A and B are shown apart, each in its own frame.
Chain A
Amino acid sequence: MNDILICKKDIGTFCSNLKEQFTVYGVKQKEEGFYVFDEIDEFSDPLKDYIPTILPPKKYLFPQQETLLRFDTQPLPDVKPVIESRKQVLFGVRPCDIHGISLLDKIFTADHDDKNYTRKREETVIIGMDCLEPCYEHALCASVGCLNVDDGYDIMMTDIGDYFYTSIKTSQGEEIVRKYSKYTGAGEEDRKRFLRLRNDREGKFENKIKTDISNLPLIFKNADNDPVWDELNDRCLGCGRCNIVCPTCYCFDVYDCMDLNMTSGERCREWDACTLKDFAVVSTGENFRSTRGQRLRHRFNRKFNYLMTRYNTSFCVGCGRCTRSCPVNIDVVETVNAVIKNNKTDDK
């Protein structure tokens, strides 16, 4: 389908119509300067200038807590998988968070398909909202190659004034636009305006990382003993906030919950955080990452080395939520640049 225009005043109706078939989640202001993804009831005035939400929209694909199994232990164990999903629309997802979801797609389909995730993903329509201006000081999307997004969404909208210039990526996107939205075809003038706005944004987004990101895995690999980790060891509180707000953190804990009858119950999973003290403790008591510095080093390496090497793409999508949420102001850009400065190998 060719690009289309959706008039801003028609967005509310579009979203209400979507509710016929989907649960619709969009961005709401929680309090001054803080935004959340939440179920949308009234959608008369869609937000456009929001900064990254407190939690990324991954919570609708990989909830903070979810049931994996339901079991009865009497008379004999009877176990059933629990895979919950619903038809849902995520409305207004920014490029950084679309990249985040695409990376989760890789993780949860690698080696073994995690149906608790993939079933939700299959039933999810993503309507993106492109960024034309840097959203806030913590963002580093352009630095990690996540400002532009070519895949991982169904529909992408760009604010060009009175209209959203709308590109349709998937057949599902086309179907819902045809079914639920008023629109007109985009003309040559609209397309030029769109391209000019897109073009103008180049240069507005600063490259904050002081090397090409493809160098980062090697730099981090050689930085195990960098003093930066000692310094962070003294500052980090080991609270796990940076993990919890990250669009690409997916580690989880699994535990059983018995019902009050003590014969039936559930097996659940819940977000876990590799910066928490007991994350790598084994039953004999050994902790393979016992210090906060080691755990934070592990977290940074996951974003810029371990997973980047395994999947050949940065696992930081540049939303800056970790920096914003850190109670002791540990800054992802400052940290990465400090590691680069101390460990940059001469170009050969």
Chain B
Amino acid sequence: MINNDSIFLPEIAEVVSTRQLTEMEKYIELKLKETKEFNFNPGQFIQLSIFGIGEAPISISSSPFNKDTIGLCVRKAGDVTSAIHKLEAGSYIGIRGPLGNGFPIEEMKGKDLLFVAGGLGLAPLRSLINYVLERRDDFAKITILYGAKNPGEILFADELELWKKRKDIAIDITVDKPDDNWSSKSGVVTRLIPPLDMEPTNTYALVVGPPVMYKYVLLELQAKQISEDHIIMSLERRMKCGIGKCGHCQINGVYVCLDGPEFSYHTLKFLSEAI
């Protein structure tokens, strides 16, 4: 939904609920004023406007089957996201989108899925995980690996508990720095990959996390012989327009907004400034 009168014109949306997930991350739920059904693909993002502060690209974190509201998990990082953290239910903001393409769901059908989320990377993956769980029969084996810096930074803890209880998926969580109350695994998320029993030719790996994580996760996935075009990563870039004009998100010849933000490793390995 890019406005025909002006590509920069956002649609007004109301904040219907907010929830502090961690010290730095807040979950906000939005409802568009005009558009009744918000359709998007997991992995797509929006440009969120706080008028007077600016616009920031935020990935959509809610399930695509929920068309009434849009859920975003926002880390306090810059001016716009700090302003988002001050929002309460009943506030109004602006939205442009959905933007980008999202994960290649059609290609993933019938395959084993390995989710690897690092920190805030769980935010966009949560949308896809929710999709996959809703359409569970369309996919084969599902494994979710999630790593956070410390127990206090774990996102969607209640939801993770529900996922753990499901018999039809496997989930493993680790933290880099455990505290006294932490009884599960510790260490970086990369370490959870080697013990997995995988069928490399039938597996899609969906990987979202900070740039530093990608390098190590890629090594492990390649050791498992997952093919390069079945390793899908989502990239974060500075964006001003979200539709291929402003030039900020360009990596070599590709625009993260137009051509991504999800890319296969097969594409990324030829882009010198990707990670």
Contact = CB atoms under 8 A, between A and B. Distances in A.
A292 B66 CA distance: 45
A199 interface: no
B97 to A, nearest CB: 12
A258 B53 CA distance: 8
B85 to A, nearest CB: 13
A305 interface: yes
A47 interface: no
Nearest to A306: B253
A48 B54 CA distance: 45
B253 A310 contact: yes
Nearest to B80: A283
B269 interface: no
Contacts of A272: 240, 246-248
Contacts of B241: 252, 254
Contact of B7 (A115, A224, A306): A115
A280 B237 contact: yes
A64 to B, nearest CB: 15
Instruction: Give the interface size bracket for B toward A.
Output: 35 or more
Contacts of A306: 250, 252-253
Interface stretch (A53-61, A71-79, A338-346): A71-79
A224 B253 CA distance: 13
Given A81-B9, A267-B8, A250 B253 contact: no
Nearest to B237: A282
Query: Which residue among B8, B211, B247 has the maximum number of chain A CB atoms within 10 Å of its CB?
Result: B247
Nearest to B10: A79
B122 interface: no
A282 B238 contact: yes
Interface string A186-197: 000000000000
A298 B248 CA distance: 12
B245 to A, nearest CB: 6
Contacts of B52: 71, 73, 256, 258, 262, 265
Nearest to A255: B54
A83 interface: yes
Interface in A272-306: 272, 274, 279-284, 286, 288-289, 294, 298, 301-302, 305-306
Contacts of B272: 224
Contacts of B247: 250-252, 272, 274
B12 A68 contact: no
Interface string B222-250: 00000000000000111011011111101
A81 B92 contact: no
Interface residues of A, number: 50
Interface in A212-237: 224
A122 interface: no
A69 B94 CA distance: 12
A294 B52 CA distance: 33
Contacts of B53: 256
A309 B253 contact: yes
B210 interface: yes
B112 interface: no
A62 to B, nearest CB: 10
B246 A284 contact: no
Given A115-B5, A224-B272, A256 B51 contact: yes
B77 A283 contact: yes
B18 interface: no
A298 B272 CA distance: 10
B29 interface: no
B55 interface: yes
A111 B6 contact: no
A107 interface: yes
Interface in B1-33: 2-3, 5-10, 12
B12 A251 contact: no
Contacts of B51: 71, 73, 77, 79, 256, 265, 267
Interface in A305-335: 305-306, 309-310
Contacts of A79: 9-10, 12, 51, 94
A305 B9 CA distance: 32
Nearest to A263: B52
A294 B49 CA distance: 31
Interface pairs A-B: 7 shortest CB-CB: A251-B247, A81-B6, A283-B77, A306-B253, A283-B78, A68-B8, A254-B240
Given A115-B5, A274-B247, 13 more contacts: A76-B12, A77-B12, A110-B244, A113-B7, A224-B272, A251-B248, A252-B247, A253-B240, A267-B54, A267-B55, A274-B250, A284-B77, A289-B273
